[in-house]
Structure 1
Amino acid sequence: MKVLLTGSTGYIGRRLKKRLIEDKNIDLRLLVRNKSSLSNEVKDNLEIVQGDTFDLESLKIALKDVDVAYYLIHSLNKDNYRDLDKLSAQNFLEAAAFCKVKRVIYLGGLGVKNSDTSEHLLSRIETGEILSSNKNVQTIWIRAGVIIGSGSSSFEIIRNITEKLPIMTTPKWVTTKAQPIAVEDVLSYLHNSIYLKEEENLIVDIGSEQLSYKSMMLKTAKVLGLKRIIIPLPFMSINISSYWLNLFTPVPFSVAKALIEGLKSEVVIQNDNAKKYFPEITPISYEDSVSNAIKEIENDQVISRWNDNSNNIWEKDAQNEISKAVFIDRKEIDISNLDASKVYQSFIGIGGTNGWFDFDFLWEIRGIIDKMIGGVGLKRGRRSQCDLRISDCLDFWKVVDLKQNERLLLFAQMKLPGMAWLEFKIKDNKLIQSAYFYPKGVLGRLYWYILVPLHYFVFNNMIKSIIKKAKSL
């Protein structure tokens, strides 16, 4: 069976891809914006089509001879995401009908249309309605609410505020009801949807027990072995709540606000189609899903995170962009007496809980400032403390290129008056560390010159510390 997977570098898509690869009944094809976002292993073993849902021609190539197509696309990080989502879904449906695709499987959100429905949830509902509008293409519309798993945005928010705040003053939305579900159960529904015998369109609402957000936080505290006090306050606005989440969790303000707006209305199951059409799946409890997520984090086995595909950096060629840099801070050090693989392991281990060597406090200050102005900050950390891959987030950086024992290139995602990259490269028995900056106007140039003294200490210390660490490996 020929199956197309879109969104394969996102949180759900990356995990579903792993499952589909293991299914011997499936011939898997991926649609991606840029092949550079994929590992060499994936590029060597799967059929890849480069394009996107705003290009009908590339869509028709991707959907040619496809039996089942997964639609796991959302434009939340863009200002006009609702309009873009509509256009994307319409294009996908048109191409699917043209290519005679039998079935589209879409993952949307629980909820109903009413005066309180957030724009984020409305966009997910409208996408499902568009994908279900052509009688010649069957759509299986899976609807999930709060997804609990290592690296999911919902779990990261709940875990962070539960761990960091012994006493929480919260807005009234903590009493809103939801039906959370473990990410592994979501994947089971998505995977098994391929083999459904049903021929008509289906909306399948999935979830475990019905809980308030307050109950979720208290149950999370129980799993973590903590005691927490929650005091709801009726006067906390959406903006205040969003800043609160922005400061105490890894999510940036824009994402926090979209999620908070969605908490005004209940997201609970509206039908029993999950039990009717998927009797083989019994969702695990909320506490078990939290426990499983924590085990994955503790064992350094996080497959994907909510921010895996959080920027449009793949639309640009990184090397070409770097060539535009106005300012470059470059350090070199001889490594002819060292094993290059150990130097490589040393520099791909920076960030997260591993830190940034002797000037961690300066990075922390920069992260706090970034959070205060609505940026991503340092709290995103890293998916794994000993491994990196292309598209991973590393604090407020994004991995845009990675070559074994040769190169690591990071793109800055903090708030900046310009664009910045940080590169580590092994060449001609030297470790070359380069900071690139492309300023935006006068403010960008002032920003660079103000930081020059700090760069002298931070970057000199960094390259020396990388070598010191490599010698100890």
Structure 2
Amino acid sequence: MKVLLTGSTGYIGRRLKEKLLEKEDVSLRLFTRNKKSFSSKTINSLEVVEGDSFDKDSLREALKDIDVAYYLIHSLSSENYKDLDKISAQNFLDIANECGVKRIIYLGGLGVKNNDTSEHLLSRIETGEILSSNKNVQNIWIRAGVIIGSGSTSFEIIRNLTEKLPIMTTPKWVETKAQPIAVEDVINYLVDSLYLKQSENLVIDIGSQQLKYKDMMLQTAQALGLKRIIIPLPFLSINISSYWLNLFTPVPFTVAKALIEGLKSEVVIQNDNAKKYFPNIKPLDFISAVKKAVEEIETNQVISRWSDNSGKIWDRNHSKEIADAIFFDRKEKDISTLSKESIYKAFTSIGGENGWFDYDFLWETRGFIDKMIGGVGLKRGRRDPNKLRIGESLDFWKVIDVKENERLLLYAQMKVPGNAWLEFKIEDNKLIQSAYFYPKGVLGRLYWYTLIPIHYFVFNNMINSIIKKARSK
């Protein structure tokens, strides 16, 4: 069976890829914006097509000779995501029909169309409707609500609120009903959808027990061994709730607002097709799903996270932008007495719970300011304390390039009047640490000049601490 997987660098896509690779009867092809987001092992062992769903030529190359295609694409990071999602889905369906694809498997969200349906949920529903509109291509439409797993948006929000706030004053949406589901169960439904014998379009709603969001928080506290008090307040608006999530959880304001708007609608199962067509799948209960997610985090077994999507960051030529940078701070140190491996391990372990050496409080202050103005802040942390891969987030940075024992390039995703990069490079027995900045207007220049004294201490300390850490290894 020839299978195309889109969204393979996303939260669900990475996990689904691992499961599909275990299937001996599946010949897997990946469709991605940038091949660099995969390891050399993946690129050498699998067929990878570079492109996106707005480029019909790359779609033709990706969908040629494919039997089943997974559609895990959305444009939530763009302001006009609703229009883009429609164009993307229609392009995909048209080219799939042209190429003779038999089945599209789409993961959407639970919910129904009504006056209270959020823009985000409405977009997911409309995407499913488009993918179901051609009688020549079957659509298996899997609909899930709150996904619980290490690194999922929903779980990170619930876990962070529960851990940090002993007493929570919450808006009335905590009384809204939902049917959460463990990420492992979502993957099982997606994989087993390959083998369905039915030929007609199917909408399959999946989930475990029905819970209010309030119940989820209290059960999360129970799973974590905590006691929490929740006090609903009816006057908290969507914007206030979004700022609350932005401040106390890793998600930025724009994501928080899209999610909060969706929480006013119930997301519960509308059909029993999951039991009918997948009788062997028994979804985990909520507390078990939470405990499993926490175990993965504590044992550094997190495969993917919500913040690891590549997005349009790959559409840019960072090499050219860095070359055009007006300001830069460069430090060099001789490392002839140290191994490249120890230096590489030292600079690729920065951030997250490992911290930023002696000036953590400055980084934390910058992260707090970023959160207050709607940025991503430092709370995203890192997926693994020792390993980095291209495309994943590292506090308020995004990993643009990483080459073993050679280079790490980070792009700043904090709110900043310009574009900024931080690079570590091993070259000719030297460690070269460079900060690049391309300012936007006068404000950007003032921003750089204001930070020069702080940069002096932070960047000098950083390269010296990397050398010190490498020596200790």
TM range (shorter): over 0.9
SS in 1 for 2:433: strand
**Residues 307-355 of structure 1, C-alpha deviations (whole Å, 9 max, x = no match):** 1115421112322221111111000000000011001000000000000
Tell me what 2:117 maps to.
Answer: 117
Tell me what 1:435 maps to.
Answer: 435
- For residues 263-282 of structure 1, what are the structure 2 equivalents within 5 Å? 263-282=263-282
SS in 2 for 1:267: coil
**Residues 386-414 of structure 1, C-alpha deviations (whole Å, 9 max, x = no match):** 11111111000010100000000000000
Cα distance, 1:126–1:140 mapped onto 2, change above 3 Å: same
SS in 2 for 1:307: helix
Gaps of 5+ in 1: none
Tell me what 2:185 maps to.
Answer: 185
1:455 equivalent in alignment to 2:460: no
**Normalized against structure 2, the TM-score is what?**
0.99
- For residues 404-423 of structure 1, what are the structure 2 equivalents within 5 Å? 404-423=404-423
- For residues 249-398 of structure 1, what are the structure 2 equivalents within 5 Å? 249-309=249-309, 311-398=311-398
Tell me what 1:446 maps to.
Answer: 446
Conserved 8 A contact 2:9-2:310: no
Matched residues in 2 for 1:461 and 1:312: separation? 33
Amino acid at match of 2:77: N
Matched residues in 1 for 2:278 and 2:217: separation? 29
Amino acid at match of 2:224: L
SS in 2 for 1:469: helix
**Normalized against structure 1, the TM-score is what?**
0.99
Matched residues in 1 for 2:335 and 2:346: separation? 13
Tell me what 2:28 maps to.
Answer: 28
Matched residues in 2 for 1:69 and 1:391: separation? 23
**Residues 243-285 of structure 1, C-alpha deviations (whole Å, 9 max, x = no match):** 0000000000000000000000100000000000001101010
Amino acid at match of 2:240: I
Conserved 8 A contact 2:420-2:438: yes
Amino acid at match of 1:232: P
Amino acid at match of 1:77: S
Matched residues in 2 for 1:121 and 1:384: separation? 31
**Residues 407-454 of structure 1, C-alpha deviations (whole Å, 9 max, x = no match):** 000000000100000000000000000000011111111100100110
Amino acid at match of 2:225: G
- For residues 54-65 of structure 1, what are the structure 2 equivalents within 5 Å? 54-65=54-65
Amino acid at match of 2:296: E
Structure 1 position 48, deviation (Å): 0.8
- Higher mean alpha-carbon deviation, 19-28 vs 182-191, is at 19-28
Matched residues in 1 for 2:311 and 2:256: separation? 16
Matched residues in 2 for 1:149 and 1:45: separation? 28
SS in 1 for 2:467: helix
- For residues 92-107 of structure 1, what are the structure 2 equivalents within 5 Å? 92-107=92-107
Structure 1 position 137, deviation (Å): 0.1
**Residues 344-375 of structure 1, C-alpha deviations (whole Å, 9 max, x = no match):** 00000000000000000000010000000000
Matched residues in 2 for 1:386 and 1:340: separation? 16
SS in 2 for 1:391: coil
SS in 1 for 2:230: strand
Tell me what 2:42 maps to.
Answer: 42
Matched residues in 1 for 2:176 and 2:310: separation? 28
Conserved 8 A contact 2:310-2:392: no
- Higher mean alpha-carbon deviation, 35-44 vs 16-25, is at 35-44
Tell me what 1:401 maps to.
Answer: 401
Amino acid at match of 2:210: Q
User: How many pairs were matched up?
Assistant: 473
1:165 equivalent in alignment to 2:171: no
Conserved 8 A contact 2:398-2:413: yes
Matched residues in 1 for 2:135 and 2:253: separation? 40
Matched residues in 2 for 1:6 and 1:317: separation? 23
Matched residues in 1 for 2:319 and 2:14: separation? 25
Q: Once superposed, which parts of structure 1, at least 4 consecutive aligned residues long, lie more than 6 Å away?
A: none
1:147 equivalent in alignment to 2:147: yes
Matched residues in 1 for 2:221 and 2:177: separation? 18
Tell me what 1:205 maps to.
Answer: 205
Tell me what 2:239 maps to.
Answer: 239
Amino acid at match of 1:124: R
